[in-house]
């Protein structure tokens, strides 16, 4: 019997050909590529919602203060589902669970089309909530890639999956601008039909190409870790590595959603066109995903702490730029800084998260971390519209500064522990 290579299966792909691997490893050799494609389809769908949902909500809402509620429900639904999604993935496997999540996007897109066509605000809210279910499952794509490789390659694996969103980041807002007028009698309905198509394509790709690899097919080292006694969630949550991971994932996503939700409305309020709002989000999405091509290499060269701090600095640059001017170039620059800063914090925070648990602790740790992140971003998206309407764009950007400070302190605490030579929790 052939002895499987030691180390994580994803690590072996960097050194040997798929043909030379035992069948269990070769069976899932296309999974990273499949996940990158699915990330692209997800990004394309969600970017349409990011671009148009606040504007659609404004058009349909019986009370204009509810304009951002449909958009916020994407995050709220994600927060409610993400904890259960982690355990469903553990029970049913990633292939079927990811496909079920993508199917909810297809249904949500169709419900949104019907709602826009009939001018029904509350049904539209239900449609966007179903897209939030899709988002909850899609957030585990990056963790599926990270869990397959050793610590040395986790940042690169995460970046590879996120890189799948680069083309979609460009195509998504462009599709939104094109498809919003697809049905002249129902503005924006065509865009949500595209969202449904993206969900359907994701289901097909996952069912046809993705392959689950059972825990027994992993490395002997991973098997030994899986048999180790699991720590309580409270004990895991008190470790510096987990605190730093949550601080960066939560702060990065919360700040990003807070500013991005309000940006199209703020641009229109500052006398820019709706198409300008779509282009601003497009530029922002490029900033979110394009750094994935080199973020892993930056981590390897400069260290994880330096990349995390750079992400925080870029978020600060976003706030300063937005406070300084409401011109169109300032919107572009601020949202670009925001996107790149999110990428650095998200890749770094996810890398820390993937280092904070053993295989037996995976579902509860991932689920808890994602629940915290979604709960925080839900609050951000729910508050963005009312705060923008009452206090304005500049004040909205001032509000993110305390969040960035808390994240910087948590990151510095972890970095000091690393420099002092404290052992990293398993």
Query: Is the per-residue pLDDT at 345 higher than 50?
Result: yes
In 3D, which of 83, 86, 110 has the Cα closest to residue 97?
86
Q: What is the pLDDT of residue 4?
A: 39
Minimal CA–CA distance to 111: which of 192, 176, 199, 203? 192
Q: For residue 76, which of 404, 300, 381, 294 has the smallest C-alpha distance? A: 381
Q: Give the range among 11-25, 116-130, 253-267 with minimum mean pLDDT.
A: 11-25
Nearest to residue 303, comparing CAs of 404, 414, 403, 409?
414
CA gap 221, 224 in Å, rounded: 5
Q: What is the pLDDT of residue 225?
A: 52
Given a contact cutoff of 8 angstroms between Cβ atoms, the answer to whether 194 and 175 are in contact is yes
Taking only the tens place, the pLDDT of each residue in 62-111 is: 887 788 789 888 878 888 898 899 899 988 999 999 999 999 999 999 99
What does the pLDDT read at residue 421? 62
Instruction: Please tell me the predicted confidence (pLDDT) of residue 227.
Output: 56
Query: Is there a contact between 395 and 384 (Cβ–Cβ < 8 Å)?
Result: no
Task: Identify the CATH assignment for 28-419 out of 3.30.70.1350, 3.30.390.30, 3.40.50.720, 1.20.1250.20.
Answer: 1.20.1250.20
Q: pLDDT of 23-62, one tens digit each? A: 333 445 677 788 989 999 998 898 888 778 888 998 898 8
Average predicted confidence (pLDDT) for the chain: 82
Q: pLDDT per residue over 269-320, tens digit each?
A: 887 887 777 778 778 878 888 888 888 788 888 989 999 999 999 999 999 9
- Look at the alpha carbons of 245, 246, 251, 253 in this order and tell me if their dihedral is positive or negative: positive
Cα dihedral 252, 383, 170, 32, rounded to 10, equals 50
Model pTM score: 0.72
């Amino acid at each position: 019997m052939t002895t499987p290579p030691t180390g994580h299966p994803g690590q072996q792909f960097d050194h040997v050909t798929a043909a030379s691997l035992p069948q269990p490893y070769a069976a899932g050799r296309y999974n990273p590529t499949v996940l990158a494609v699915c990330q692209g389809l997800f990004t394309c769908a969600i970017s349409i919602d990011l671009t148009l949902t606040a504007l659609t909500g404004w058009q349909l809402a019986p009370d204009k203060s509810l304009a951002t509620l449909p958009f916020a429900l994407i995050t709220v639904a994600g927060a409610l589902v993400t904890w259960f999604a982690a355990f469903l993935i553990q029970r049913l496997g990633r292939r079927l669970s990811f496909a079920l999540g993508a199917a909810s996007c297809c249904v949500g897109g169709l419900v949104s089309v019907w709602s826009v066509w009939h001018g029904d605000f509350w049904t539209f809210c239900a449609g966007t909530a179903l897209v939030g279910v899709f988002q909850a499952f899609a957030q585990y794509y990056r963790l599926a890639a990270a869990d397959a490789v050793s610590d040395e390659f986790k940042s690169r694996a995460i970046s590879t999956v996120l890189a799948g969103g680069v083309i979609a980041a460009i195509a998504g807002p462009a599709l939104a601008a094109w498809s919003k007028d697809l049905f002249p009698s129902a503005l924006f309905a065509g865009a949500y039909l595209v969202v449904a198509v993206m969900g359907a394509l994701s289901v097909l790709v996952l069912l046809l190409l993705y392959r689950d690899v059972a825990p027994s097919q992993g490395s002997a080292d991973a098997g030994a870790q899986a048999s180790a006694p699991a720590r309580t969630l409270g004990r895991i949550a008190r470790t510096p590595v987990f605190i730093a991971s949550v601080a960066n994932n939560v702060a990065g996503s919360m700040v990003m959603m807070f500013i991005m939700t309000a940006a199209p409305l703020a641009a229109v309020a500052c006398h820019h066109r709706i198409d300008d709002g779509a282009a601003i989000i497009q530029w922002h999405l490029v900033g979110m995903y394009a750094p994935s091509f080199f973020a892993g290499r930056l981590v390897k060269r400069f260290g994880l702490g330096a990349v995390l701090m750079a992400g925080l600095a870029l978020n600060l640059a976003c706030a300063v730029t937005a406070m300084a001017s409401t011109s169109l170039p300032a919107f572009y620059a601020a949202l670009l800084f925001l996107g790149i800063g999110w990428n650095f914090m998200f890749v770094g925070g996810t890398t820390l998260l993937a280092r904070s648990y053993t295989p037996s602790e995976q579902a509860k740790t991932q689920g808890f971390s994602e629940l915290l992140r979604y709960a925080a971003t839900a609050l951000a998206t729910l508050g963005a519209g009312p705060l923008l309407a009452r206090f304005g764009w500049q004040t909205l950007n001032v509000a993110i500064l305390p969040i960035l400070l808390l994240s910087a302190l948590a990151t510095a605490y972890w970095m000091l522990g690393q420099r002092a030579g404290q052992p990293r929790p398993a």
